[in-house]
Amino acid sequence: MFADLLQHIVNGLVMGAVVALPALGLTLIFSVLGFINFSIAAQMTVGAYAGWLVNSQLHWPLVPVLVVGFAAAGLAGVIGDRLALVPMRRTVSAHTPLMVAIVSIALNLALENAIRFGFGSDLNSFEMPIARDVQFAGVRIGPQQMHNLGIALTVAIVLAVFFTVTKVGKAMRAVADNPDLARLKGIDPAKLSNLATFIGMGLAGIGGALLAIDTSVDPSTGSRLLLIIFSASVLGGLTSLTGAVLGALLIGVVSEVALLAISPVYQSATAFVAILLVLLVKPSGLFAGSSGVRK
């Protein structure tokens, strides 16, 4: 029983790691720009396709593939933001964040279908060897998945350092905290919003590429996980970067451990019931106020 529990926890961490990076991106964009950019799912797919192209055509290995996934999704994210979302954000009203979020859903659909138009609906596989799992203290561990978990956590740590140490990182936090005050101090929120979108979407791109290496790439690669990414971000308090990562891992673990008692068909339901319970007790999210963009 204990071995089973441990196995499900490990599986949950692996599941959560896939969601962690896009959740981190969503949280970052929300913190700095103040709205939920749902087109993050399509940017995951963009990152996955970009990585797949350089891997299958040019035979690039893992790390360059992830860099390409980051850059492609980041760039596509900024372009999408400038074309579709910036004009919406200019009209300032109480409903602006909601309107921009809805336009971002439209942008997400448009991007997904553009990818489908270009590449078709087929599944595509990366040219990466598939490894058998290894047994460790009675628990089955996938080397690739552990690798993914490692990469996700490393990126999260690098990001945390970026926000605490660098000038730009601190400026972003200033904008997140109080845009007007930041402007008075000579920080240009427009420039920073581009950077936040680039990094946020880039993170989603890495997440998409990692997910696709593990499974396969198709136009719905990202959108299948959109709801769970959003939930991870909400669970983490929407403004806390640590919260986003922990929220993702928690959702993964809860939904996998629930399998011990409940049929797999109801798996997402168990995760969402858990979120509901958490938000009833702590409406601001589990980790709001802990270290993050908005301290």
Q: What is the DSSP string of 107-171?
A: HHHHHHHHHHHHH-S--B--S------EEETTEEE-HHHHHHHHHHHHHHHHHHHHHHHSHHHHH
Q: Binding of other proteins at residue 125 (CB under 8 A)?
A: yes
Q: Binding of other proteins at residue 273 (CB under 8 A)?
A: no
Minimum Å gap between C-beta 152 and other proteins is: 13
- C-beta of 129 vs 283, nearer to other proteins: 129
Minimum Å gap between C-beta 15 and other proteins is: 6
Q: What is the dihedral of CA 157, 280, 105, 292, to 10 degrees?
A: -20
Q: Which residues have a Cβ under 8 Å from the Cβ of 19 and sit 6 or more positions away? A: 207, 225, 228, 229, 232, 248, 251, 252
Half-sphere exposure of 20 (CA within 13 A, CB side): 28
Binding mask 134-173 for other proteins (x = CB under 8 A): ------x-x--x----------------------------
Q: Kindly give the residue spans of alpha helices, DSSP state H, lying in 1-137.
A: 2-33, 40-58, 62-80, 86-90, 96-119
Residue range at the interface with other proteins (CB under 8 A); choices 3-11, 96-104, 174-182, 191-199 = 3-11
Q: What is the dihedral of CA 168, 246, 230, 276, to 10 degrees?
A: -140
Q: How far apart are CA 121 and CA 108, in angstroms?
A: 16
Residue 215 is given by DSSP the state: S
- C-beta of 22 vs 169, nearer to other proteins: 22
- C-beta of 12 vs 200, nearer to other proteins: 12
Q: How far is CA 26 from CA 11, 34, 61, in A?
A: 23, 11, 27
Q: How far apart are the first and last CA of the chain?
A: 40
Q: Binding of other proteins at residue 121 (CB under 8 A)?
A: yes
Residue range at the interface with other proteins (CB under 8 A); choices 25-33, 94-102, 119-127, 187-195 = 119-127
- C-beta of 14 vs 68, nearer to other proteins: 14
- C-beta of 170 vs 224, nearer to other proteins: 224
- C-beta of 125 vs 291, nearer to other proteins: 125
Site size for other proteins, by CB under 8 A?
40
Structural contact between residues 282 and 274, judged by C-beta atoms closer than 8 angstroms:
no
Q: Binding of other proteins at residue 14 (CB under 8 A)?
A: yes
Q: With CA atoms as reference, report the closest residue to 185 among 172, 197, 194.
A: 172
Q: Which of residues 211-250 bind other proteins (CB under 8 A)?
A: 211, 214-216, 218-220, 224-225
Q: Binding of other proteins at residue 265 (CB under 8 A)?
A: yes
- C-beta of 11 vs 239, nearer to other proteins: 11
Pick one of 116, 147, 170, 183: the residue that binds other proteins (CB under 8 A): 116
Q: Binding of other proteins at residue 56 (CB under 8 A)?
A: no
Residue range at the interface with other proteins (CB under 8 A); choices 73-81, 160-168, 169-177, 261-269 = 261-269
Which positions lie near other proteins, rule CB under 8 A?
4, 7-8, 11-12, 14-15, 18-19, 116, 121-125, 128-133, 140, 142, 145, 211, 214-216, 218-220, 224-225, 256, 259, 263-265, 267-268
